[in-house]
Amino acid sequence: MSKATTMTTAAGNGIGDNQNSLTAGPRGPVLMADYQLMEKMAHFNRERVPERVVHAKGAGAYGKFTVTHDISKYTCAQIFSKVGNSCETFARFSTVAGELGSPDTARDPRGFAVKFYTADGNWDMVGNNTPVFFIRDALKFSDFIHSQKRDPRSGMRDATMQWDFWSLSPESLHQITTLFSDRGIPKTLRHMNGYGSHTFSLWNAKGERYWVKWHFKTMQGNKTLTQAEANKIAGEDLDHHRRDLFTAIENGDFPKWTVMVQIMPERDAETYAIHPFDVTKVWPHADYPLQEVGVLELNRNPQNYFAEVEQAAFEPGNLPRGMGASPDKMLQARILSYPDAHRYRIGVNYAALEVNKPRIPVQHYHRDGATRFDGNSGSAVNYQPNSFGGPVDVAAYKEPPLRISGDADRYDHRAGNDDYQQAGALYRLMSAEQKRQLIANLVGALQGVPEFIQVRQLKHFYQADPAYGQGVAEGLGIALNKVI
Ligand code: NDP
């Protein structure tokens, strides 16, 4: 047993009694002067920070990323400068729609966020376990999330809201097909892939830019839960996935992912048949093959869940030299919305928290703000330009210029888009058993939804693949002539 140390107040004053309140006589009222009681209750009342609006329920762990293959011709990012380079990482996996106490085995995409503490500053990959997303324009994001969360009147989640929105948003079909497939509920967080989902960029010292898709392939194998298995576990252990990851790491069974990229030269984007900045689409592997880059291993559990997992703040805009974003509309909006959410949720100095701060010195002119808990840059000069040796911008960190064209306008993102081909391709690559599960899961989820919405959604399934539409229609008992 460890030797007990003296308990103190937050100010360091020793505490003589943490069992009994200060009262006027043994049965008398509690005195206002019981500072310790007041401090204890007041702190307790403030223990929770607002939970994330999305991705509230998560699990996190530290690890290591090691570069195994050379991609230095595409990027001058320090981490990729030579094979064998490595850096510490912190990963957080999460469900999307459920609240902090929700079951881990819900059918939902999983957030797959990784912070790479590189020697050139932090690189955050804030992805999902699916390569695509439900919408392609962030103007629809809060509408989409409202439709998946709770009904404003009943306070309950509601299939009609979900399918009303989805059936009116055909760009969601590819992601719906992924979500209701067997991969929609991973067996554990170790048995799922991760994807950057958006197109990002890499650029080299010659100023050449390449578009890139990031893939994290599980080395444990893709394993899934059926809806029935997931329902059973949800009734027994809400924290099933969190527990599995924590226990595996405690036992030295470290999960690993092979990190891979698809690379597209900058100018290909102008002629490639598939819109390369549309997050509802993948790049078929036959067009842009996967190339191995490195290995991600998770090998250390946090010491404190709140400090390290709840306060972890990932930002798709954290991109060191040699890496960049892309014109993907969803990504552009996420570059704003993630840090904005962190400022609201944990405060303006969130980036200085231990789990979030880079492993190299930070030098900027941000000062002050609520709960400035570090030295606030001490007496250093707080404006730029200055004559007193403050940090300066260095041109070598500038991204190469990006060619853009066109008039600023609100372009219809649904016009001229094929939302069916890739959803159909996914359906067709599934085994007979996977197709059976997909259709059964969809039939279950569409139960009780008004028929006009069911029919509107069935038309999408049918357009992706007639057998897909027919299977769900049969399961729902809807005649095919209402769909075709
Ligand atoms: P490929 O046959 O080259 O690749 C198929 C991909 O599908 C593999 O990456 C495989 O992942 C993945 N996959 C298999 N079963 C499922 C499932 N139930 N849910 C989600 N993904 C699954 O084909 P293409 O590249 O031509 O793509 C065909 C379709 O595959 C796409 O329309 C897309 O829906 C899906 N897909 C494509 C990806 C891509 O980046 N090109 C990535 C993921 C899915 P694994 O190797 O881990 O088994």
Kindly report, residue by residue over 276-307, the tens digit of the pLDDT: 999 999 999 999 999 999 999 999 999 999 99
Q: Is 243 exposed, middle or buried (0-12, 13-18, 19+ CB in 10 A)?
A: middle
> How far, in Å, from the CA of 388 to the mean position of ligand 1?
55
What pLDDT is recorded for position 394?
96
Q: Is 217 in the pocket of ligand 1 (CB under 6 A)?
A: yes
Protein residue closest via CA to atom 24 of ligand 1: 284
What is the rounded average pLDDT for all residues in the chain?
Answer: 97
Question: How far apart (Å, rounded) are the C-alpha atoms in residues 160 and 448?
Answer: 8
Question: How far apart (Å, rounded) are the C-alpha atoms in residues 256 and 483?
Answer: 44
What are the backbone angles phi and psi of residue 436, rounded to the nearest 5°? -60, -45
How large is the average pLDDT for residues 176-198? 98
DSSP string covering 58-125: EEEEEEEEEE-S--TTT---GGGSSTT-EEEEEEEEEESSS-TTS-TTSSS-EEEEEEEEEBTEEEEE
Protein residue closest via CA to atom 41 of ligand 1: 284
Q: What percent of the chain has pLDDT over 70?
A: 100
User: Closest ligand 1 atom, CA of 195?
Assistant: 42
What pLDDT is recorded for position 294?
98
Q: Is 222 in the pocket of ligand 1 (CB under 6 A)?
A: yes
* b/e per residue 253-282 (b: at least 16 CB within 10 A): eebbbbbbbbbbebeebeeeeebbbbbbbb
Q: Which tokens go with 199?
A: 């197109």
Helices 451-464 and 159-167 cross at an angle (nearest 10°) of: 50
Question: Are the C-beta atoms of residues 319 and 325 closer than 8 Å to each other?
Answer: yes
Q: Is 182 in the pocket of ligand 1 (CB under 6 A)?
A: yes
> How far, in Å, from the CA of 429 to the mean position of ligand 1?
8
How large is the average pLDDT for residues 357-370? 96
Question: How far apart (Å, rounded) are the C-alpha atoms in residues 439 and 437?
Answer: 6
- Name the 3-class secondary structure at 187: coil
> How far, in Å, from the CA of 1 to the mean position of ligand 1?
52
First to last CA, the chain: 72
Residue 33 has pLDDT above 80, yes or no: yes
> How far, in Å, from the CA of 74 to the mean position of ligand 1?
25
pLDDT confidence of 4, banded at 50, 70, 90? Answer: confident
**More reliable by pLDDT, 4 or 154:** 154
Catalytic residue, chosen from 18, 20, 122, 128, is: 128
Residue 3 has pLDDT above 90, yes or no: no
pLDDT confidence of 197, banded at 50, 70, 90? Answer: very high
Residue 233 has pLDDT above 70, yes or no: yes
- Going from the C-alpha of 461 to that of each of 123, 172, 439, 446, 465, the distances in angstroms are 38, 11, 10, 13, 6
Protein residue closest via CA to atom 4 of ligand 1: 285
Q: Is 71 exposed, middle or buried (0-12, 13-18, 19+ CB in 10 A)?
A: buried
User: Closest ligand 1 atom, CA of 217?
Assistant: 47
From 134, 172, 264, 285, the mutation candidate for ligand 1 (largest count of ligand atoms within 8 A of CB) is 285
- Going from the C-alpha of 47 to that of each of 44, 59, 99, 142, 289, the distances in angstroms are 5, 19, 17, 27, 48
From 426, 430, 438, 465, the mutation candidate for ligand 1 (largest count of ligand atoms within 8 A of CB) is 426
What pLDDT is recorded for position 322?
98
What pLDDT is recorded for position 244?
98
Cis peptide before 385 (omega within 30 of 0): yes
Question: How far apart (Å, rounded) are the C-alpha atoms in residues 201 and 204?
Answer: 10
What pLDDT is recorded for position 400?
97
Q: Which tokens go with 131?
A: 């390569």
User: Closest ligand 1 atom, CA of 424?
Assistant: 32
Q: Is 429 in the pocket of ligand 1 (CB under 6 A)?
A: yes
Catalytic residue, chosen from 55, 174, 191, 460, is: 55
What pLDDT is recorded for position 1?
53
Strands 291-300 and 256-265, bridge-based pairing: antiparallel
List the Cα angle 423/473/164 in 5-degree steps: 70
* b/e per residue 213-234 (b: at least 16 CB within 10 A): bbbbbbebeeebbebeebeebb
Q: Is 131 in the pocket of ligand 1 (CB under 6 A)?
A: yes
What pLDDT is recorded for position 2?
67
Catalytic residue status for 55? yes
Question: How far apart (Å, rounded) are the C-alpha atoms in residues 7 and 15?
Answer: 6
Question: Are the C-beta atoms of residues 249 and 300 closer than 8 Å to each other?
Answer: yes
Question: Are the C-beta atoms of residues 391 and 150 closer than 8 Å to each other?
Answer: no
Distance of CA 358 to the CA centre of its chain: 19
Question: Are the C-beta atoms of residues 274 and 211 closer than 8 Å to each other?
Answer: no
- Name the 3-class secondary structure at 294: strand
How large is the average pLDDT for residues 22-39? 94
Digit-coded pLDDT (tens) for 53-87 = 999 999 999 999 999 999 999 999 999 999 999 99
> How far, in Å, from the CA of 259 to the mean position of ligand 1?
16
Q: Is 191 in the pocket of ligand 1 (CB under 6 A)?
A: no
> How far, in Å, from the CA of 426 to the mean position of ligand 1?
7
Protein residue closest via CA to atom 7 of ligand 1: 426
Question: Would you state the torsion angle of the CA atoms of residues 279, 281, 287, 288, taken in this order, to the nearest 10 degrees?
Answer: 30
Sketch out the chain's domains with CATH numbers. Answer: 55-134+186-358 (2.40.180.10), 138-168+420-484 (1.20.1370.60)
Question: How far apart (Å, rounded) are the C-alpha atoms in residues 8 and 31?
Answer: 20
Question: How far apart (Å, rounded) are the C-alpha atoms in residues 277 and 53?
Answer: 25
Question: Are the C-beta atoms of residues 290 and 261 closer than 8 Å to each other?
Answer: yes
From 282, 290, 422, 465, the mutation candidate for ligand 1 (largest count of ligand atoms within 8 A of CB) is 282
Catalytic residue status for 128? yes
Question: How far apart (Å, rounded) are the C-alpha atoms in residues 293 and 272?
Answer: 24
What pLDDT is recorded for position 457?
98
Protein residue closest via CA to atom 48 of ligand 1: 222
> How far, in Å, from the CA of 320 to the mean position of ligand 1?
29
Question: Are the C-beta atoms of residues 106 and 98 closer than 8 Å to each other?
Answer: yes
What are the backbone angles phi and psi of residue 82, rounded to the nearest 5°? -155, 155
Q: Is 193 in the pocket of ligand 1 (CB under 6 A)?
A: yes
Question: How far apart (Å, rounded) are the C-alpha atoms in residues 343 and 350?
Answer: 7
